[in-house]
Structure 1
Amino acid sequence: MRAIVVTEHGGPEVLRPAETADPRPGPGEVIVDVEARGVNFIDVYQRSGAYATPLPFTPGVEAVGTVGELGPDVTGVTVGQRVGWVMLPGGYAERAAVPADRTVPIPDGVTSEQAAAVLLQGLTAHYLTHTTYPVQPGDTVLVHAAAGGTGLLLTQLAKLRGARVIGTVSTGAKEEAARAAGADEIVRYTETDVADAVRRLTDGAGVQAVYDGVGATTFDASLACLRPRGVLALFGQSSGAVPPVDPQRLNSAGSVYLTRPSLAHYTADREELLERASDVLGLVGTGSLKVHVGGRYDLADAARAHEDLTGRRTTGKLLLG
């Protein structure tokens, strides 16, 4: 079968297509014939070595396909069923062996492409807005990179929960995308100081929560945007890791809270995984949550997809077909 195999950490050039043996299911595993794969920054971190990943490996922690074979001791999943998964490797391949208890069923009203475009980032946006800082009606929240894949979903879910959303973007096209997702106010961080703009937009009060997946370049502004006892949810580091932080800064910012959450810890229990997936996919199925695919690439063009993602040349979600 075709697969992308990483044999050394490095730039996008290490994403090399290869012919590999078909996987065989172990106990509790299913073989999924993959139809669509999400491209995510975690793939970049694993490829580059920023996240320690044993070599060789096939990247891709988000994919959707049809179950083609069951291993021993599998229950609750059937051959021919459409399923998806997140936070497990192997998606950049034609077939993958996946633990059955980490798969989620894809409802009929959601296409495989939609599901692959929403599972990781949709579940991330869900836990951030429903659990890490549960948005309340009337809250004002700040979403960094509001036109990105996660940002667009965060904006929509925050609006569905009754928030006023301030989004940061870099270009006019990205502003249009963020506003279409429901952002009430837009700050172009390339043209104005984010903290000053947010203070102005909130009459000096600041926001209840900042959802920051950018990291190094936005962290200081994120702290400065919070109101007393606000929450900074630092869920990613697309611009690089944040340097060590003196806890006294949290006091100076207004006794604020800083958390570095991960999807794995909000879906560790299968019941919680299925509940979040059901909520997100249900909203997609009814049209209440819109998924924007910003680029589609052949599996062999994974390197180009990574270049476009890290070069910030896209909006929405990138998919490998």
Structure 2
Amino acid sequence: MARRIQFSSNGGPEVLELVEFKPSEPGPLEIRVRNHAIGLNYIDTYYRSGLYPAPGFPSGLGTEAAGVIEAVGSEVTSLSVGDRVAYAGGPLGAYSDVHVLPASVVVKLPEAISFEQAAAMMLKGLTVQYLLRQTYRLQSGETILFHAGAGGVGLLACQWASALGARVIATVGSAEKAEKAKAAGAWEVIDYSREDVAKRVLELTNGQKCPVVYDGVGKDTWETSLDCVAPRGLLVSFGNASGAVTGVNLGVLASKGSLYVTRPTLGTYAVPGALQGMADELFEMVTSGKVKVEVHQRYRLDEAAQAHRDLSGRKTTGSTVLLP
């Protein structure tokens, strides 16, 4: 028997329960992975709370982990039993000792990347890859605003953007988090708890604002983000940490300078045929030392509920993993 975290109704962390189950055999195009480390991400709280609907109840949770393949389907030719792999997509259920998922959402993991590193960075790292290299192709010399610069995505983004030659203005909520963002390569840091973000961005950019603003916070920062985008610039709203953005008035985009807005998701970028290439670029950034991945918190699988409480309570920084 194996163990997994599941929930039978939406709600707070208390709905998460550890249960035993018998793993299924993979279908023709599937594989079964023995997880060695599991990633904890904000999107997991969206499924648990009901902001994003689970496919049915009881439901597994989590989409990111790293481990070793222990079984492959009859039609899988690109992967073999014993391969080190990582994934950040597919059906919910990564919070588990083992997980069965399509072979198409799995990437091969270089020996130079540890299981914990991979589990800590796959979803966040692939997100940063598409944000900086595809949604908006960041250029050297550009000044950008990135909200939550001390979060898991933010710390990777600060490093990656800095390596590209861009100047990152990062927002944070405390002096401690400001230090973390600066250490990760942020050019300037704005503490939103005591500073006016839009006013400070205007000062730092000599009135020019930013060609692109990356906002994973959502509702609480939406209007501020719009005020930080340069005319004909782009606001990339990629997350809902404070709640979903609703009631968007397109007239506001016109009044603030013919702005563009996009709401991208990893699923529309990490498609079969593109996923391994995106992952390889991420792995190269890590193995070259340009991007460092550090696991700041570790929880046992049976501590998933507490991990969710700490994540939602903003008591975590950087990346967190669950260990089976």
**In which range does the TM-score fall when normalised by the shorter chain?**
over 0.9
Corresponding position: 1:296 with 2:285: no
Structure 2 distance, partners of 1:50, 1:101, is 26
Is 1:140 aligned with 2:143?
A: yes
Q: How many residues align?
A: 320
Distance 1:49 1:130 in 2: 31
Among residues 175, 198, 212, which one is paired with 2:215 in the alignment?
A: 212
Aligned residue in 1 for 2:284:
282
Cα deviation, 1:270-289, whole Å, max 9, x if unaligned, reads: 22111110000121122221
| 1:306 partner amino acid | H
**Contact residue 89 and residue 105 of structure 2 kept, 8 A:** no
- For residues 82-131 of structure 1, the C-alpha deviation after alignment (integer angstroms, 9 at most, x for no partner) is 11111222110100101112110000110010011111000000100011
Structure 1 residue matching 2:261: 3-state secondary structure: strand
1:216 maps to a residue whose letter is K
8 Å contact 1:23–1:95 — kept in the other structure?
A: no
Q: 1:23 Cα shift?
A: 2.3
Q: Which residue of 1 aligns with 2:169?
A: 166
Runs of 4+ in 1 over 6 A off after TM superposition: none
CA displacement at 1:292 relative to structure 2: 2.5
Offset, 1:77: 0.3
Q: 1:186 aligns with which of 175, 184, 189?
A: 189
Q: In 1, distance between residues paired with 2:207 and 2:289?
A: 36
Distance (whole Å) between structure 2 residues aligned to residue 301 and residue 288 of structure 1: 32
- CA distances 1:65-94 after superposition (whole Å, capped 9, x unpaired): 100011211111011101111122211010
Name 2:253's counterpart in structure 1: 250
After TM superposition, the structure 1 = structure 2 runs for residues 297-316 of structure 1, keeping only pairs within 5 Å, are: 297-316=299-318
Please say if residues 40 and 319 of structure 2, whose CA atoms lie closer than 8 Å, have aligned partners that are also in contact: yes
Partners of 1:294 and 1:254 lie apart in 2 by: 40
- Structure 2 CA distance for aligned equivalents of residues 294 and 239 of structure 1: 22
Residue segments in structure 1 that go unaligned for 5+ positions in a row: none
Unaligned residue ranges in structure 2 (runs of 5+): none
Q: Aligned partners of 1:132, 1:70: CA distance in 2, in Å? A: 34
Shift of 1:151: 0.4
CA–CA separation in structure 1 for the residues paired with 2:152 and 2:309: 16
CA distance in 1, matches of 2:246, 2:185: 32
Structural RMSD (CA): 0.8
Counterpart secondary structure, 1:319: strand
Return the alpha-carbon distance in structure 2 between the equivalents of residues 124 and 42 of structure 1. 12
Cα-to-partner distance string for 1:290-320 (whole Å, 9 max, x where unaligned)? 1122210000000011111111111101110
The alignment's TM-score, normalised by the length of structure 1, stands at 0.98
Aligned to 2:120: 117
**One-letter amino acid of the structure 2 residue matched with residue 29 of structure 1:** E
Residue 35 (structure 1) aligns with: 36
Q: Residue 149 of structure 1 contacts residue 292 of structure 1 at CA under 8 Å; is this kept in 2?
A: no
% identical aligned pairs: 45
